[in-house]
Amino acid sequence: MIMECTTHEQIINTVAEIELVYRTNVKPSQRPTVKCSKDAYKLFLESWDRDRIEMAEQFKVMLLNRGKKVLGIVEISTGGITGTVADPRLVLAAALKALACSIILCHNHPSGQLEPSSNDTKLTTKIKEAGKFMDIDVIDSLIISEESYCSLADEGLL
């Protein structure tokens, strides 16, 4: 009885190739630095689609290097008028891919109400705890509107 061996070509065709890449066109000296929650709010607001900020809830993450320089902002999810689902695995996958040392979470409330809900604080805590295992620090979580913001760190809720 002769056994068939799996060829290298057969394996290549059945296994997904994973590639980790971080590309940027921005020189490190040109990246903005986040020194406070107001800096983060301004940068998030610049990245938001102003036509949707009062229409649909979105969740974004700011990725920071060790010097608190912004590596990028990634949109994690878009939902409806009253909520969106932000998967912590996607948040941390983005942070890992960009080699971020810390992150700032952010979502808008289309109603303009900036008070954090219990779901907001629970999700923030969940992501913060998960990030600890990978040495990724959640330094703030913002709730924003067109006119203002609430920082969970500034409010002592982080």
Per residue in 64-74, pLDDT (tens digit) is 999 999 999 99
pLDDT of residue 99: 92
- Check if the beta carbon of residue 109 is closer than 8 Å to that of residue 143: yes
Average predicted confidence (pLDDT) for the chain: 89
For 154, phi then psi, to 5°, come to: -65, -30
pLDDT of residue 12: 59
Q: Of 51, 54, 44, 46, which is closest to residue 76 (Cα–Cα)?
A: 44
pLDDT of residue 5: 59
pLDDT, mean of residues 152-157:
95
Residue-wise pLDDT for 77-108, tens only, equals 988 888 888 999 999 999 999 999 999 999 99
